[in-house]
Amino acid sequence: MTAVDRTAGADPFAAEIGERRTRARSALGWVLIGVAVVLIGAVVTLLSSDGWREREPLDPEGAGPDGARAIVSILREQGVEVVEADRRGQALAALETPGTTLVITDPWYLSDDTILALADAADDTVVLDPSAETAALLAPGAEHSGFGDGPVEPACALPAAERAGAILPGRGFTAPSGVTGCYPVGDGHALLRSERPSPVTLIDGTELFDNAHLAAEGNAALGLGLIGTHDRVVWFVPSLADADDGEAAPQLGDLVPPWLTPAIVLLLVAGLAAAVWRGRRFGPLVAERLPVTVRGSETLEGRARLYARAADPPHAAALLRDGATERMARRLGLAATASRAEVADAAAVRVGGRAAVIRAILEDSPATDADLAEFGTRLRDLEDAVEAAVRTTSGPSAR
């Protein structure tokens, strides 16, 4: 019996409430997909934006404890133009404007020649995280002298230090001849001022001018006095790209707009959601009214032709065997899950035949179309015999 025959006695479209629930589930699925895409896009955009990416210490836009957004904001409020740079080429180009102070946060990536070239191009240079090598380069003879352990007065005649007063210093360096030292730390000073062709200041800004320490003692006043000496500041945060060649060609990420990456990710997520949506059905199958009524005999004939075209007698025989076994089990009063052996034994008792013969019929596996036709005939004869035996035993009321 076909699917059309089984549903012919019932009208699944009579209850409109079922259709409304189906449409509601479908609409809810689309809404959930849309919300998921929007949420994922928002998260990706936030994570890829400048406000969420990991920043270097003393980054001018860094809002974390080790960032420098606070002092940069104060400088801008006082009318100082702060130009951000993360490549040597950008910094050198920005320093072409006269009256500019250069701030280098961490020169670790830079070569000696690069550091000297930058310092010579600026009207005033402040190195906020100098290493011992950088200190010896810009103030020949300077060496590391320890760390500060409490508030220290300037003890020098540098105007910016005198106005700021006491600070909480970080690393200290010895002050060689010709170099001004302020804020004594161990055998040296926390601030070195070298009057090279242009003034250079060395100070541990990671312990003074980041967001976490700026408000302590006179740290903020000292930072503004050292960095805000001119109306323009180039704040240079060296990157790994400057390690070998500061004029290295821009990478692919430098050539595309910042919104491109989250847009690509959003499209990929949308494509994945569409693939999941089209790859499976949401909810159970819904009965659909066919444009025409197809008789069961036509469906049977069509499926028979498909099996014939497939040229797969064993598969067709398996379908015939399963159907016959199920029908005979039902007529013999067996469970629907009864095995072929159980059906064969029960059928042998009813028809008075040998169980081995009936089992052989059910276990046969034809290899050709002719064998399949003969197999079908034997199955039909066996079913007719079982039907006749059951009818004879039970009487007319059994049907």
**Interval 308-324: pLDDT, tens:** 777 778 888 888 888 88
Q: Are 354 and 348 in contact (CB under 8 A)?
A: yes
Beta strands 171-173 and 199-203, pairing class? unpaired
Q: Are 119 and 125 in contact (CB under 8 A)?
A: yes
Q: Is 140 helix (H, G, I), strand (E, B) or coil?
A: coil
Q: What is the pLDDT of residue 101?
A: 96
- 241: closest CA among 110, 127, 119? 110
Q: Are 192 and 181 in contact (CB under 8 A)?
A: yes
> From CA 104, how far away is CA 84, in angstroms rounded?
11
- 224: closest CA among 160, 155, 280? 160
Q: Distances in Å between the alpha carbon of 102 and those of 38, 95, 124, 193, 390?
A: 43, 8, 6, 14, 105
Q: ∠317-323-292 over CA atoms, to 5°? A: 100
Amino acid symbol at 228: G
User: Which residue in the block uniquely carries the two structure tokens 């955009």?
Assistant: 45
For helices 296-310 and 313-331, angle between their N-to-C axes, nearest 10 degrees: 140
- 182: closest CA among 151, 161, 196? 161
Q: What is the pLDDT of residue 398?
A: 41
Highest mean pLDDT (candidates 49-53, 54-58, 96-100, 238-242): 96-100
User: Which residue in the block uniquely carries the two structure tokens 């821009």?
Assistant: 250
Of all residues in the chain, what percent carry a pLDDT higher than 90? Answer: 36
Burial of 346 (0-12, 13-18, 19+ CB in 10 A): buried
Give the N- to C-terminal CA distance of the chain in Å, as an integer: 18
* Rounded mean pLDDT, 301-306: 78
Highest mean pLDDT (candidates 12-26, 87-101, 337-351, 367-381): 87-101
* Rounded mean pLDDT, 144-164: 91
Q: Which two tokens stand for residue 196?
A: 């090279």
Is residue 50 pLDDT above 70, yes or no? no
Beta-carbon contacts of 104 under 8 Å, excluding residues fewer than 6 positions away, are 110, 115, 118, 125, 126, 127, 128, 236, 238
Domain segments of the chain: what residues?
15-49+258-288, 69-248, 296-398
Q: Distances in Å between the alpha carbon of 293 and those of 1, 6, 266, 303, 304?
A: 15, 13, 46, 16, 19
Highest mean pLDDT (candidates 118-127, 144-153, 275-284, 346-355): 118-127
Q: Which two tokens stand for residue 226?
A: 């050292």
Q: What is the pLDDT of residue 337?
A: 83
Q: What is the pLDDT of residue 256?
A: 66
Q: Phi-psi bin for 297: left (phi > 0), alpha (psi -120 to 50), beta?
A: alpha
Count the alpha carbons within 13 Å of 366 in the hemisphere toward its beta carbon.
Answer: 24
* Rounded mean pLDDT, 116-127: 94
User: Which residue in the block uniquely carries the two structure tokens 């089992």?
Assistant: 359
Q: How many CB atoms lie within 10 A of CB 17?
A: 7
> From CA 399, how far away is CA 390, in angstroms rounded?
10
Q: What is the pLDDT of residue 244?
A: 55
**Interval 237-254: pLDDT, tens:** 998 877 755 444 555 665
Is residue 386 pLDDT above 50, yes or no? yes
Q: Is 71 helix (H, G, I), strand (E, B) or coil?
A: helix
Q: What is the pLDDT of residue 51?
A: 47
- 191: closest CA among 205, 183, 199? 183
Query: What is the Cα 43 distance to its own chain's centre?
Result: 9
Q: Are 167 and 183 in contact (CB under 8 A)?
A: yes
